[in-house]
Structure 1
Amino acid sequence: MGNAIRVIWAGRALGSRLTAGVAVALVWIGLAGPSLAEDASRWRIGKPIVTYWAGPPLTDAVAAQLAEGGWNLVWASERDLDTAARHGLRAQLQHPLLHPDSLDDPQRRSELDALVDRVKNHPALYSYFLRDEPSAKDFPGLGRLVAYLRERDPAHLAYINLFPTYASNAQLGTEGDQVTAYREHLRLYMEIVKPDLVSYDHYQFRANGDGDQYFLNLAMIRETALRADVPFLNIVQACSWTPSMRVPNGDELRYLVDTSLAYGAQGISYYVYCWPNHVGGMAGPDGTPTPLYHAAKVLNRRFEAVAEELQPLKSLAAYHAGKVPLGGTALPDHYPIQIRTISGTSQETAEDGEGWLLGIFGENAETPTHVMAVNLDYRTARTAEVRGSGIWETFDPEGRTWKEAGPNAVPLDFPPGGGLLLRRK
């Protein structure tokens, strides 16, 4: 997150309880070994994550506002777990004992064990917060702590958040050019820490223009998560904390959410919800919702619905049509799914303007079935024709239903920075 003030409230897994029938079956095949039973109790993401960094203490009023806005994972102290549960929220626990040093001190280790025993069966608990933006030199200690918590409480996530691509070599703890150093940072993290989820933050909305590494970072995280077969979470910009950065508007926030979905994210987080000396965010110092809160209130439910629809599928590709950003992959000319701009404020085609993003999903690479198509122009609503053999359907996130759009080549209207989920029958 870039500074020590960032606080994350995360939510609880709805649990991995077995039905009685499945439990009996597991006992019966207990001959099939403890590994199967252990895997059944291992943390799973469940409902896609919608959370935030840096917010006020979790009172009932704050929890109610979060729930109303579509957040489903909140930051919590041990005493806040009951508050989260009252509002149907999952909770990410913060505690000083959740630190690698606790394993080397017998007294602190005993206190950590007691903490885990107290909270692991709480209905709101989803995850343990361990660290924000560690250096590679911190990975061995964090790996020990992740393994220790996984042994004592496999049902809950041990959460760590990583640096963005624009972190320095000194911060990353690796050497080389920007891409080389970051790739090595990710490799060491996955190899040593072995996380169940990859989380990172990246902020590109500057006072004058945008940074150029947003899609590079998305692509590298997507690749890392796919290789390890774990989900990933993107922490995106929702404020300004320095004159060099701007507060995004609702269309820019939609762009961040929908591009994350197209790259396969199963979690979204906003920096910040509310924090002193930060402009924008989701609420003012007195708790009054900002315009971004009202934008996120719609986007949060869309994110959860679309991500849940895509959760059983594999992210097969993320292709850019038109302008290809740094780190992006151009849509192949003969790929069976194509997109073409047919209207907008300018007479652009898919080869100019801000271009389009196609997130391709399916059960295997030979049969791509789902497409998250995103208008990468967050200033302009545009109409595009999506082409591909078969009958196209579009997904309605609000009703969680599919509606037929037409055969082979269908024109679709996209809001600024917005996307649509489609599938082929």
Structure 2
Amino acid sequence: MQSPHHSLAPSRRTLLLGAGATAAATFAATQTAAATTAATSMAQAAADVAIPSPDTLPLTGGPDFPIGLFWPPHPYASTPQRFAEIAEAGFDFVISGNYAGDGNIFQYQLDLARTAGLKMLISDDIQIRNMARWFSISDNPADHLSVTPAEARELFTRARDAYGPYSSLAGFNFYDEPGAGWFGTLAKALAVSRELAPQLLPYVNLFPSDDAAYYDAFVDVVKPSLVSFDRYPLLSEGREDANYFHNWAIVRNAALRGNVPAWVFIQTLAYNNHREPTAAELLWQVNISLAYGAKGIQYFTYWTPEAARGEGFGPALITVDGKRTARYAAAKKINTTWLHQVGRELKPLVSETVEHANETPLPNGTAGFQPTDLVTGVGGQPVVIGTFRSRDSAVKDRWLLVANRSHSTSTRATLTLNADQVTGVDFFQPVSSKYSATRGSTVPLTLAPGAAQLLRLHVR
């Protein structure tokens, strides 16, 4: 099996979900344009179902920036104390897994989540996966391994009625890393969800891929409520995945194309060919993702997968036997002192550009800094600059998230602004969640390894 940074390779998440054979079969079906064409045709039946705005759904809606985790405590470790520990670290939602597959366990965990103030996305193998992953949805009796639309509605209704009474239910995890050949069925499955429970978030997470057509087809055919993907850039021997930024640029474009949020998973642990992240490398993944327009951050993993699963998994935020690691403390600090605060500022904004300044050669798929009417120059050491605008076109101000390109060394950079257009600059202060004003047309920045600074430019 290939590493997850290769195009459309089955990733570690697929292995943890125990779907290797199914994923491999689906993956093989994605390699032709015919798969996407067929998916488009299948999806036509779902076209007349109203699609709720992401602004109205759990996690994607509201002012708070969603921070989630994958691979939570296993059923025997699912206690009030453990779920309180999750909330204490600044997490907002949990994607079920780690041997939780029974309906009674889901209800028990939903109750724990409700008490802890958390939301959950439920990966229900009996109802939801039967209508969205293990079987296709088809009216044609000749289509083997399929359920009818009526049967799909019945399956979803069972799941909705079983878990819907819990206020902690945010939605259902319909499919992790589907191939394009499955997009038609996913479109129908999401249409069922939107018809029968428009208040719930239908969640799908995509493969890492360097193929823009894969993400564009997902947006065009499935009509998702968000575009989520996983790609883990911290390789062994201090290396970076050379196409990490390229993949992020593709996902950013797809999310803008669909006018939906972009979510990403960040790497918390070592596994085959990947290293254990430092605290600065956790922060770096978060801030690079924010610069590229992320509207949700998810951690892979929270609890450590046991050795019997293979792949050489090292300790995550919590060890196999339930002990906190240094990465738990690092994630807690990031989530509670930075990400929630800056994420709340960025969530309602629209990603306008993302550029790499002072970096030669440019990484694959990235854009180098180009002077604008607002920012005429960027001097100093390498930084990644995400520019954001308000959804209200009458607001002329711009926001800049300037991230240190390095996760190992501090950096200094200076932004030169056009004083004829920019009348003032505010620095975001996460401690107070307020902006402090500064003067002058040059803005010096000193950023710790992996760190970032949010600026607001007042524009004439």
Q: What TM-score, normalized by structure 2, do the two folds share? A: 0.75
Please give the per-residue CA displacement for 1:287-332, whole angstroms capped at 9, x wherever unaligned.
2211111111121232222121122221111111011221111111
Tell me whether 1:328 sits opposite 2:366 in the alignment.
yes
The aligned counterpart of 1:171 is none
Match of 1:279 among 314, 317, 333: 314
SS in structure 2 of the partner of residue 318 of structure 1: strand
The aligned counterpart of 2:14 is 4
Please give the per-residue CA displacement for 1:219-274, whole angstroms capped at 9, x wherever unaligned.
111111011110010111111121x2111101111110001111111111121112
Tell me whether 1:310 sits opposite 2:333 in the alignment.
no
8 Å contact from structure 2 (residues 371, 377) kept in 1: no
The aligned counterpart of 1:378 is 407
SS in structure 2 of the partner of residue 134 of structure 1: coil
The separation in 1 between residues aligned to 2:221 and 2:261, in whole angstroms, is 18
CA separation of 1:411 and 1:52: change in aligned 2, threshold 3 A: same
SS in structure 1 of the partner of residue 318 of structure 2: coil
The aligned counterpart of 1:23 is none
Letter in 1 for 2:350: K
8 Å contact from structure 2 (residues 268, 317) kept in 1: yes
Match of 1:45 among 61, 82, 92: 61
SS in structure 1 of the partner of residue 113 of structure 2: helix
SS in structure 1 of the partner of residue 439 of structure 2: strand
The separation in 1 between residues aligned to 2:244 and 2:328, in whole angstroms, is 23
1:340-355 alignment, distance < 5 Å = 340-341=378-379, 349-350=380-381, 355=382
Letter in 2 for 1:54: W
Match of 1:89 among 118, 135, 140: 118
Percent identical across equivalent pairs?
A: 27
8 Å contact from structure 1 (residues 69, 293) kept in 2: yes
The separation in 2 between residues aligned to 1:212 and 1:365, in whole angstroms, is 39
Match of 1:291 among 314, 319, 326: 326
Tell me whether 1:266 sits opposite 2:304 in the alignment.
no
The separation in 1 between residues aligned to 2:54 and 2:174, in whole angstroms, is 24
The separation in 1 between residues aligned to 2:376 and 2:329, in whole angstroms, is 33
8 Å contact from structure 1 (residues 5, 54) kept in 2: no
The separation in 1 between residues aligned to 2:388 and 2:289, in whole angstroms, is 14
1:115-130 alignment, distance < 5 Å = 115-130=159-174
The aligned counterpart of 1:68 is 88
Tell me whether 1:414 sits opposite 2:431 in the alignment.
no
The separation in 1 between residues aligned to 2:364 and 2:79, in whole angstroms, is 43
The separation in 1 between residues aligned to 2:245 and 2:344, in whole angstroms, is 22
Q: What TM-score, normalized by structure 1, do the two folds share? A: 0.81
Letter in 2 for 1:311: K
SS in structure 1 of the partner of residue 445 of structure 2: strand
Letter in 2 for 1:69: A
The separation in 1 between residues aligned to 2:368 and 2:286, in whole angstroms, is 21
SS in structure 2 of the partner of residue 245 of structure 1: coil
The aligned counterpart of 2:432 is 399
What's the CA shift for 1:122? 2.4
8 Å contact from structure 1 (residues 239, 248) kept in 2: yes
Which consecutive unaligned segments of at least 5 residues does structure 2 have?
1-10, 18-48, 97-105, 138-146, 308-312
Aligned-residue CA RMSD (Å):
2.5
SS in structure 1 of the partner of residue 281 of structure 2: helix
The separation in 1 between residues aligned to 2:387 and 2:157, in whole angstroms, is 43
The separation in 1 between residues aligned to 2:275 and 2:52, in whole angstroms, is 47
SS in structure 1 of the partner of residue 192 of structure 2: helix
What's the CA shift for 1:3? 4.3
The aligned counterpart of 2:384 is 357
The aligned counterpart of 2:280 is 251
Aligned residues: 371
Which consecutive unaligned segments of at least 5 residues does structure 1 have?
8-34, 166-178, 342-348
SS in structure 1 of the partner of residue 260 of structure 2: coil
Please give the per-residue CA displacement for 1:100-141, whole angstroms capped at 9, x wherever unaligned.
238516667534313213433421111211111111111111
Please give the per-residue CA displacement for 1:65-120, whole angstroms capped at 9, x wherever unaligned.
11010111113423311110000011111212112238516667534313213433
Letter in 1 for 2:450: G
CA separation of 1:308 and 1:53: change in aligned 2, threshold 3 A: same
What's the CA shift for 1:375? 1.0
8 Å contact from structure 1 (residues 102, 108) kept in 2: no
Most deviating of 359-368 and 224-233: 359-368
SS in structure 2 of the partner of residue 279 of structure 1: coil
